[in-house]
Amino acid sequence: MRKKFVYFVLVPIVALCVVLYLFIDGWAESGLESAGEAIVGARVEIDNLHLSLSPIAIQFSRLRVANPKDPWKNIFETGKVRFSLDFWQLLRGKYIIETMEVDNLILGTKRTTNGSLPKPPPTPANQTSAVSELTSALGNEAQKAPVFDLNKIRSELKIDSLLNTQNLRTVQYIDSLKLQVRDASQQWQTTLNDVEKSKQRLADVQSSINAINLNELKTVQNITAALNNVNNAYKGINDINETFKNRRAAVTSQLDRLTTSVNAIDSYARSDYEMVRRLARVPDLSTQGLTKLLLGREILQKVSTYLSWIDLARRTVPKYVSEPKDEKPPRFKGQDIHFPVDRAYPKLWIKKIAISGGEDKAQNPDCFYAKGEVRNITNDQRITGFPLTVSLSGGRASGSDFTFDASFDRRPDTPVDNYKVTASNVPITDITFGQADFVPSRITKAVINSSAAVTVPGDQFDSNIKLGFRDLTLVFDRSPQGDIERITRDVLAGITGFNVGLRLWNTAGPLDIALTTDLDDQLSARTKKVIGDEFAKLQNDIRSKVDQRIAEKRAEFEKMFNQKKDEALSQLKGYESLVNQNLALLDGKKKDLDARIEQEKKKQLQNAVKGLFKRP
């Protein structure tokens, strides 16, 4: 035995280990706090952490996690927390915890110190998740909600600026019709020129027919020759007539098409009116519109807040497997041969966190005391084979209860998060009801029962939220301004409860929002009656200005269109009568010639008969 080595090397090393052990509690405490703060983004405080070696276990007397959105409150705080690590797995560099016991979990406790952290450097813009995109889409949706203040609408309503001709599809449509009419007019003119050329032929035919004098035709041969001339002329005129009919049909069908297009101006004008009305943010007083006006912005903002928590969970729960370490190849690399593993373990696996809610709820009557369990926190769910699940329930002294069940599945290629939340008898104070610029009111007292089911598969999102307001009391922030507000307040004051259903989803592309409620039925009848007249005036104003702007263009176009149409039709009509006149003339001539032939034939027959009985 090398005694000097033992005395001068081994003994100091052992002494150093003892010193390390004495200070390791503090180091472990600050290490865990830093790791927690990096995840949450707010102060994480652990009190009185103690690390024991046999068995290897950690316990601390209190854990407080500040709310990054409200640093004067905690997301939760706990009482004593205890857990032990699997020694044999620790030797393999794995942190396996069978059960972590958490006592007295309380949600939303107040803090005496600010729990915010110094602001981190801004994250790159491309690190947006699907849920954060949804959050921003919700913000935009809230901004788009119509304004419900008549005075504001009146003062801000600048219809003339909205009536930019570039915005009005009707004007653009009329302009395109004008071009079509011009093109058609040119085609008509070409056709009419062709018809004009045929007029000369008609005149020639007419003069040749007029030249046939029946009295000068003495023999059957002369008459027959004249008849042949008439028949040939008849045939020529029929050809001209046929060509004319075809061209007239073409012009007429083009006119019919253009007339139909002109009639479509009305539907363009209607859509232009709707567009200008939306731009002017004049609300549509349908039953769906009312609830969106009164509650939409508030609910969407609340949902947006909860979405940010879902986004945090999506980013924090590890996606698939731990990232492979960047290893430098050793001098003698060799080849690692792997053997079947009876039971593989991930780097970190907390199999179960047993949470017990505190008993004395009266200590923090405003906070929720939660109990339940969290299972399978791990860095690699594909090794453990289990998703992370959370099942909590709780309540507070006032009688409110809640349940929260969630699962975060990172085993499949597409991660799936599911949430189910219910809350009952939750007193609500200070919810804005109605917009600040119209019937500014607040729900100062109400009880809400709610349930929500959210599924987040991959980048998609689907949520169903049901809210039931009961025993509510409304307080109005100002004296009524005008009859409309007064009567609307009377309507609102009579409401003691209502249900709201909200679905947000983006399973088929962009975000869709559906808001349903029975509040509409209660509100719509009287409110529509009262304020409908005022909005009707505004809408009529918009409609008349839109109509006026479109009417100018339309009159100009119709004048041009009718002029061109009349020109074409009158020319066609004149030519048609000329053709018909010639045809009538030919018919008359032909009849006369036929009669004359008959007459001559009869005369010749009589002469022949007379010749038979004449004496030689």
Partner 1 sequence: MFWLQIIKGFISVLRSGQTPRQIAAGFALGAIVGLMPFLTLQGLLLWLVILVFDVNLSAALLAVTLFALLSYIIDPLLHAIGYFLLVDTSSLHGFWTSLYNAPIAPLTRFNNTVVLGSFVAGFLLLLPVYFGMRHFVLAYRTHLHTKVEQLKIYQIISKSTLVKWYDRIKNITS
Q: Which residues bind partner 1 (CB under 8 A)?
A: 1-2, 4-6, 8-10, 88-89, 91-92, 330-343
Nearer Cβ to partner 1 (93/124) = 93
Based on CB atoms, which residue is closest to partner 1, 9 or 584?
9
CB of 32 to partner 1, least distance (A): 25
Give the whole-angstrom CA distance, residue 531 versus residue 384. Answer: 62
Of 397, 502, 398, the residue nearest 445 (C-alpha): 398
Question: Cβ of residue 95: shortest distance to partner 1, in angstroms?
Answer: 14
Question: What is the nearest approach in angstroms of partner 1 to the Cβ of residue 93?
Answer: 9
Report the nearest approach of partner 1 to the CB of residue 376 (Å): 22
Q: What is the largest CA-CA distance in the chain?
A: 187
Which residue, 353 or 383, has its beta carbon nearer to partner 1? 383
Contact between 531 and 285 under an 8 Å Cβ cutoff? The reply is yes
Nearer to partner 1, 120 or 330 (CB): 330
Nearer to partner 1, 89 or 481 (CB): 89
Return the C-alpha torsion angle 520, 522, 525, 529, nearest 10: -90
- CA distances to 41, 72, 108, 282, 516 from 67, rounded to whole Å, are 8, 7, 8, 40, 32
Name the minimum Å distance from CB 400 to partner 1. 48
Closest contact distance (angstroms) between CB of 88 and partner 1 is: 4
CA distance 226 to 217: 9
* Least Å from the CB of residue 20 to partner 1: 19
Q: What is the DSSP string of 261-291?
A: HHHTHHHHHHHHHHHHHHHTTPPP-SHHHHH
Spatial CB neighbours of 592, under 8 Å, sequence gap ≥ 6: 214
CB nearer partner 1, residue 2 or residue 478: 2
* Gyration radius (Cα) of the chain, Å: 47
What SS3 string covers 430-444? CEEECCCCCCCEEEE
Residue 2 vs 197, nearer CB to partner 1: 2
- Tell the smallest beta-carbon distance from residue 89 to partner 1 (Å): 7
Closer CB to partner 1, 3 or 119, in the complex: 3
Please name which of 412, 416, 391, 415 lies closest in space to residue 402, comparing C-alpha atoms: 391
Q: How far is the CB of 1 from partner 1 (least distance, A)?
A: 6
Q: State which residue, 1 or 125, has the beta carbon closest to partner 1.
A: 1
Q: Give the dihedral sign, CA 210/211/217/221.
A: negative
* 3-state DSSP assignment of residue 134: helix
Question: Which distant-in-sequence residues (6+ apart) come within 8 Å of 63 by Cβ?
Answer: 44, 45, 46, 47, 77, 78, 81
**Per-residue tokens: 151:** 């005075």
- H/E stretch holding 171 reads helix 169-210
Work out the angle at residue 582's Cα, subtended by the Cα atoms of residues 580 and 586, and round it to the nearest 5 degrees. Answer: 115
Report in angstroms how near the CB of residue 99 gets to partner 1 at its nearest: 20
CB of 335 to partner 1, least distance (A): 5
Which of 1, 22 has the CB closer to partner 1? 1
CB of 124 or CB of 334, closer to partner 1: 334
Minimum CB separation of residue 330 from partner 1 in Å reads 6
**Residue whose tokens read 């009524």:** 480
> Which C-beta is closer to partner 1: that of 342 or that of 430?
342
**Quick one: 74 exposed, middle or buried, by C-beta within 10 A (0-12, 13-18, 19+)?**
buried
Helix (H, G, I), strand (E, B) or coil at 372: strand
DSSP string, 408-464: EE-SSSS-EEEEEEEEEEEEE--EEES-TTSS-EEEEEEEEEEEEEEEEETT--EEE
Q: How far is the CB of 392 from partner 1 (least distance, A)?
A: 35
CB-wise, 218 or 331, nearer to partner 1?
Answer: 331
